[in-house]
Amino acid sequence: MLGYRLKFHITLEKWIGKRRGRLSELARRLNVKRQAFRNRIAVYGLSLLEMDRIKVQKFKIERDEKRAIDLLRFMKKWMSKKQGRQIALAQRMGITPFALRQLCNAKKDKRYSILKYGITAVRQAIKEIERNLKIALKYDKS
């Protein structure tokens, strides 16, 4: 049992170290303070129940990271179509258009910063903007 716990802690530390922000995201999802959580990982102080909860949350975080990268690829293409998309999406997200462009052109670990806005919320905002653009184009033609 001790070997399993030690191996789990080592792999968890490696997983957290691979990407900046994973520790904060994991602590947020487990409803614990980040620094206290980090200290418990460092001294191998996690119980088996906590280890199981962490495994589940690790899987969900990895899934969300993949979704975030896919969404950024889509957003980059979508925003290149112009017609006021950048400004509308920036207003919905509560950031400046410049910050939105920086977010879409992000590299490495910065790509995952879209997670704080919520993947589903951003997708929903894009759908609403597209719907409004289609309606506006219909009225513009007539």
Q: What is the pLDDT of residues 13-23, one digit of tens each?
A: 999 988 888 89
Give the residue from 104, 133, 116 showing the smallest Cα distance to 61.
116
**pLDDT band at 1; cut points 50, 70, 90:** low
**pLDDT band at 45; cut points 50, 70, 90:** confident
Helix (H, G, I), strand (E, B) or coil at 138: helix
Helix (H, G, I), strand (E, B) or coil at 32: coil
Q: Domain limits at 104?
A: 66-141
**pLDDT band at 75; cut points 50, 70, 90:** confident
Residues 52 and 74 in one domain: no
- Residue finishing a domain among 47, 63, 79: 63
CA atoms lying within 13 Å on the CB side of residue 14: 6
**pLDDT band at 87; cut points 50, 70, 90:** confident
- Total structural domains within the chain: 2
Whether 15 contacts 22, CB under 8 Å? yes
Residues 34 and 95 in one domain: no
Residues 54 and 7 in one domain: yes
Residues 81 and 136 in one domain: yes
Whether 46 contacts 94, CB under 8 Å? no
Residues 53 and 90 in one domain: no
Residues 6 and 55 in one domain: yes
Residues 123 and 107 in one domain: yes
Averaged confidence pLDDT in the chain: 85
- Residue finishing a domain among 39, 63, 87: 63
* Phi, psi of 103, rounded to the nearest 5 degrees: -65, -40
Residues 28 and 76 in one domain: no
- Residue finishing a domain among 63, 93, 109: 63
Mean pLDDT value of segment 17-43 = 89
Mean pLDDT value of segment 81-101 = 83
* C-alpha dihedral (5, 11, 13, 19), degrees to nearest 10: -150
Helix (H, G, I), strand (E, B) or coil at 123: helix
Mean pLDDT value of segment 70-88 = 84
**Residue-level pLDDT at 26:** 92
